[in-house]
């Protein structure tokens, strides 16, 4: 295990401690602001307009996971519908990403499906797209099944995410590609066991490249979510050598990270989308961002002392 992987495992373990969580929620909001576009829909739309002016597309995520009641899930459903209507009203270049657990997946799967379907239907009416974020491995199959079920009902404006570090992804990518599902491809950001996932970063990168290549070679629109220059440069070189046009794929990066580079990629003619979360339920998202690499934590610490 290399140093980065050790750091990631330790931080995710510490972040799961309830005392650490309470202290961070009490004192860490200012630090988290680096990665969060605001508390409200209005703030998120304002930031989306700013990013669009830089040539950067957006996917908006109303933060929320680990809910405890179906009433909360219904509330998130309604807020996502309002978000879609806000995007349409302001004519910004944005789609939406949501987590199935915030729609009730861990409480009542069928109620979750009904909630997600309502969001997808409204998105289709407004000519928009919904991404079902992939959460930890306990929800992988249910999320894939939900995506395929929505497609079978004609809601092809729904996509999901595949994580390169999971061994099962080799089979999942074939199923979803065959169904024509729009996929965001990622390395993976959850703490998973060695029995179901690659642990060495070098292995994960090779698995990731293989998955991207599968998509590009088959002419499928590909969303590549990474801040890793090894991946970004490789994609640029592979696309150029194989005459793959720049509009055949998009790079996706997180709000608050490499914002100048995002704008530069847009100026170079690449499609770039910024994953832009907003809302008050920021702690789980924030800790995963810090866990991705030590430089993220160092950036936050430096901001504390500015």
Distance separating alpha carbons of residues 135 and 104, to the nearest angstrom: 13
Tokens matching residue 290: 């810090």
Conformation bin of residue 222: beta by default, left when phi > 0, alpha when psi is -120 to 50: beta
Q: Of all helices (H) and strands (E), which one includes residue 272?
A: strand 271-278
Return the bridge partners of 62, or none. 278
Residues in Cβ contact with 193 at an 8 Å cutoff, skipping those fewer than 6 apart:
none
Considering the candidates 77, 131, 184, 288, report the single residue annotated as catalytic.
Answer: 184
Active site residue 184: yes
CA distance 258 to 225: 13
Query: Is 258 noted as a catalytic residue in this protein?
Result: no
Which residue, among 217, 156, 208, has the nearest Cα to 181 in the 3D structure?
Answer: 156
Three-state secondary structure of 41-110: HHHHHHHHHHHHHCCCEEEEEECCCCCCCHHHHHHHHHHHHHHHHHHHHHCCCEEEEECHHHHCCCCCHH
Looking at 126-258, list the stretches that DSSP marks H as alpha helix, in order from N- to C-terminal side. Answer: 140-152, 169-178, 201-217, 229-241
Query: Which of the residues 77, 131, 133, 273 is marked catalytic?
Result: 133
CB 108 within 8 A of CB 145: no
Which residue numbers are catalytic?
133, 184
């Amino acid at each position: 295990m290399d140093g980065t992987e050790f750091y990631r495992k330790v931080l995710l373990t510490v972040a799961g401690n309830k005392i650490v969580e309470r202290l961070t929620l009490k004192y860490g909001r200012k630090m988290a602001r680096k990665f969060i576009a605001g508390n409200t829909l209005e703030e998120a739309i304002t930031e989306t307009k700013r990013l669009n002016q830089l040539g950067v597309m957006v996917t908006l995520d109303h933060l929320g996971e680990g809910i405890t009641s179906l009433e909360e899930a219904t509330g998130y459903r309604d807020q996502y519908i309002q978000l879609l209507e806000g995007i349409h009203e302001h004519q910004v270049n944005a789609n939406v990403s949501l987590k199935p657990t915030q729609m009730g997946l861990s409480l009542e799967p069928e109620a979750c499906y009904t909630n997600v379907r309502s969001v997808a239907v409204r998105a289709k009416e407004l000519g928009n797209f919904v991404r079902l974020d992939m959460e930890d491995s306990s929800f992988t199959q249910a999320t894939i099944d939900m995506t395929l079920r929505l497609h079978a009902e004609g809601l092809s404006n729904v996509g999901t995410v595949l994580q390169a570090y999971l061994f099962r992804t080799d089979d999942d990518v074939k199923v979803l590609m065959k169904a024509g599902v729009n996929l965001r491809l990622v390395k993976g950001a959850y703490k998973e066991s060695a029995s179901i996932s690659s642990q060495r970063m070098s292995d994960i990168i090779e698995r990731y490249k293989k998955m991207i290549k599968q998509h590009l070679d088959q002419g499928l629109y590909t969303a590549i979510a990474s801040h890793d220059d090894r991946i970004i440069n490789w994609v640029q070189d592979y696309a150029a050598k194989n005459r793959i046009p720049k509009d055949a794929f998009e790079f996706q990066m997180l709000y608050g990270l490499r914002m100048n580079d995002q704008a530069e990629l847009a100026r170079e003619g690449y499609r770039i989308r910024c994953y832009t979360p907003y809302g008050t339920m920021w702690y789980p998202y924030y800790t995963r961002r810090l866990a991705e690499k030590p430089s993220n934590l160092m950036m936050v610490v430096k901001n504390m002392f500015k």
